[in-house]
Amino acid sequence: MNTQRTFLLNLYLRGVQMRRITLKDIADALGLSVSTVSRALSGKGRISRQTIELVERKARELGYIPNTIAKGLKTRKTNTIGVIIPDITNPIFPGYARGILDAALKQGYQVFILNFDMSKAKEKDAINSLLSSQVEGLILTSTKLSRQELLELRKRGVPFVVVRKDVRLPGTSFVNVDNIYGGYIATKHLLEIGKKKIAFIGSRFSGEPARKRLKGYLKALKERGIDIREDIIVEAESSFDGGYRAIQKIFDRVDGVFAYNDVMAIGVLVFARERGIKLPEELAVIGFDDIPVSSLPIVNLTTIKQPMYEMGQQAFITLMKLMNDEENVFKIWLKPELVIRGTA
């Protein structure tokens, strides 16, 4: 019985099809040493072209997958990064993730994405899990970590970039959207189309994005000399139901609404249509984010487009610079833009 048939029989008898193919399996199949197979696949050492092609062909046949993490333990380079996001079901986060993934692919990097459900404890667990997998850097999206906790993370020696948070911390890089400007241009547009009783329906005013969008809203009203009415500034849950319930309380006092995000704005639209309120004549509505559903004809929501894909790409590019030992700190602000559709 020849070497290959013997190897295949042993492979079957050992049930090796249920485990990962190793360098030893390739070596046994070809009657070569493990070191020869290793050198052939790594391109290191003096190996003939014929042997390299033979080993590569057999590796493909057997379904060999290189263990990049094990390799990284030796070289200290795994070509992997970790991305931590708060809620994968939130329609804005796939945009960030896709931007990161596309930019990483161009540089030959793999991306591990973990979800932390807006829980600081889960976020810390996710960070530890990724660092134990030897990732070269981290992208933290909407992090819940405090200044002190971010400082402690820096001491662990792994580069990281924060997305969607203005981190006032020396030596820490971030990528963010200009939320003040976004709130300003949304409210300014409502004023320009003749609305004067404009509500702001926000989420968690203690959080940075809502606080800054509110600041932009107030700035636009003050520029026009319009009195600030606290009774139409409403804090609500960041959800469809949150927007729906908020407008229920104030619909008879307003002719325009700037909602914290598109999901809340859609809740406002549904309530208005159920009540027979004409859009945008009797009530104009603007959201924030420009999630995919907002452009559907049945929704047709005027909104502030957040450059999520571009932010993801910039986050990866910034992380690459940090991983390449650039000592600069990068604070990147991207401008949102008004997308006019049928609701305002």
Q: How far apart are CA 65 and CA 22, in angstroms?
A: 8
| Tens digits of residue pLDDT in 90-107 | 999 999 999 999 999 999
pLDDT(177) > 80: yes
Mapped onto helix, strand or coil, the DSSP state of residue 25 is: helix
Least confident of 1-5, 241-245, 279-283: 1-5
Spatial contact of 282 and 261, defined as CB atoms under 8 Å apart: no
| Tens digits of residue pLDDT in 140-156 | 999 999 999 999 999 88
Q: 3-66 is classed in which CATH architecture?
A: Orthogonal Bundle (1.10)
pLDDT(68) > 70: no
* Strand spans (E) along 168-266: 173-177, 198-202, 233-235, 256-259
Q: Where does 74-177+309-334 sit in CATH, by number?
A: 3.40.50.2300
Q: 179-305 is classed in which CATH architecture?
A: 3-Layer(aba) Sandwich (3.40)
pLDDT(205) > 90: no
pLDDT for the residue 107: 94
Report the share of the chain in percent with pLDDT over 70. Answer: 92
pLDDT for the residue 186: 99
pLDDT for the residue 41: 85
| Tens digits of residue pLDDT in 272-319 | 999 999 999 999 999 999 999 999 999 999 999 999 999 999 999 999
Tell which wins on pLDDT, 3 or 84: 84
CA pseudo-torsion sign 43, 47, 53, 58: negative
Instruction: Count Cβ atoms below 10 Å from residue 246 Cβ, excluding itself.
Output: 27
| pTM value > 0.95 | no
| Tens digits of residue pLDDT in 213-232 | 999 999 999 999 999 999 99
Domain residues of the chain, as ranges? 3-66, 74-177+309-334, 179-305
Type and span of the H or E element at 248: helix 240-250
How many Å separate Cα 44 from the centre of its chain? 37
pLDDT for the residue 17: 46
Spatial contact of 115 and 86, defined as CB atoms under 8 Å apart: yes
pLDDT for the residue 72: 55
Let me know if the fold of 74-177+309-334 is the same as that of 179-305.
yes
Per-residue b or e along 75-86, where b marks 16 or more CB atoms closer than 10 Å to that residue's CB = eeebebbbbbbb
